[in-house]
Amino acid sequence: MHPHISTFYLASVRVRAAELLPWIVALAAFFLFPDFLSLGARILIYILLVLSLDLVIGYAGIVTLGHAAFFGIGAYTAGILSAHFGIKDPLLQLAAAGTVACLVGFGTGLYVLRTSGLTLIMLTLAISALCLEVANKATSWTGGADGLSGVTIAPILGYFRFDLWGKTAYLYSLAVLFVVWWLVRTLLNSPFGASLAGIRDNRTRMEGIGALVNRRLVQVYSISAGIAGLAGALLTQTNQFVGLNALGFELSGEILVMLVLGGVGRLYGAFIGTAAYLIAQDQLAKKFPEDWYLGVGILLVGVTMFARGGLLGALDSLTARLRRALKL
């Protein structure tokens, strides 16, 4: 599953030049495409969400189809704080959303992660269905099917207002994504990250060296849920609205598609897959408003058939082939 990571204890953790690329592209896009900043912010938020999904699926080997639940919980936490409690500070909301989602991840993870395979998938689906139904029924809190409006957000640090063009939203999302990326990267290189690789590789052996495997899975699941919650809060703050679709199955499936498209368990798969998917969706929807989903479908079929390991996997094998060709 991870052909490129075989050592943690002998690996250099220095940032490689290629790892700066996403950030350079993101900053360049800010200046080059001022009309696309709201799409850009959406991409950044979804990257954050897909990154959290990669942490559980790609690195911990926990297959879930209910990850949108944590995104939705974060989104509603931020929205409800603003609309019902008058807490409008974005960073405070962000912290609260991450914490609530993390706690829910912990609570559900304790039970759900005792299972594996299909049972686990069904349980994660069930939990996200429950969350959706709660949000749907608790109309006085969530606005139900109409969504939660009346969400206003104070300027960030009392200074940066969310503007109509999405400049603040874009840079704010970028900053949050950067911090989380750094934390996730650090985590993956740590002994904890190494032990996740061990669990994925051979769970029996991991227990045979005294690792409390289940506890570690619950830990990573909670962390991932917290990150998904942060992404949800960002969505609420940049849209000043929360709808039920932030919790839906569709979203859980869609982010899985983005991850597979980019490459599972590759950290940067989330970046490239999400950006490619959302940009393709945006362009196709403009050109073929009726059947753009067909285009997305074809893209996905193409990737799964011809590019195992997603776009990054394809890039890997291409460079490997080039290198061999140059040697010969």
Partner 1 sequence: MTPALEVKGLCRSFGALIVADHIDFQLERGARHALIGPNGAGKSTFVNLLAGRLRPDAGRILLDGQDITRLSAAHRVKRGIGRTFQTNTLFRHLAVLDNVALAIAERMGVSGQLFRAASAHQEVIEEARALLTMLNLMALEKTVVRDLPYGQQRLVEIAIALGLRPRVLILDEPAAGVPSHESYLIFDAISQMPADIAILFIEHDMDLVFRFARRITVLASGAILMEGTPKEVESDRKVREIYLGESRG
Interface with partner 1 (CB under 8 A):
1-2, 6-13, 186-187, 189-195, 197-198, 201-202, 204-213, 216, 219
Least distance between partner 1 and beta carbon 307 (Å): 21
Q: Residue 103: CB partners within 8 Å, gap ≥ 6?
A: 222
Least distance between partner 1 and beta carbon 91 (Å): 21
DSSP state of 296: H
Least distance between partner 1 and beta carbon 173 (Å): 24
Q: Tell me whether residue 86 or residue 210 sits nearer to partner 1 (CB atom).
A: 210
Q: Is the CB of residue 187 less than 8 Å from the CB of residue 87?
A: no
Least distance between partner 1 and beta carbon 269 (Å): 18
Q: Tell me whether residue 87 or residue 187 sits nearer to partner 1 (CB atom).
A: 187
Phi, psi of 267 (to 5 degrees): 60, -55
Residue located via tokens 């204890």: 9
Q: Tell me whether residue 39 or residue 194 sits nearer to partner 1 (CB atom).
A: 194
Phi, psi of 156 (to 5 degrees): -70, 130
Q: Is the CB of residue 313 less than 8 Å from the CB of residue 307?
A: yes
Q: Tell me whether residue 109 or residue 248 sits nearer to partner 1 (CB atom).
A: 109
Least distance between partner 1 and beta carbon 127 (Å): 25
- Tell me the C-alpha distance between 32 and 309, whole Å: 31
Measured at the alpha carbon of residue 285, what is the angle toward residues 299 and 257, in degrees to the nearest 5? 35
Least distance between partner 1 and beta carbon 126 (Å): 28
> Which tokens in the block code for residue 259?
């991850």
Measured at the alpha carbon of residue 267, what is the angle toward residues 261 and 268, in degrees to the nearest 5? 60
Neighbouring CB atoms inside 10 A of 322's CB total 10
Q: Tell me whether residue 216 or residue 266 sits nearer to partner 1 (CB atom).
A: 216
Q: Tell me whether residue 84 or residue 185 sits nearer to partner 1 (CB atom).
A: 185
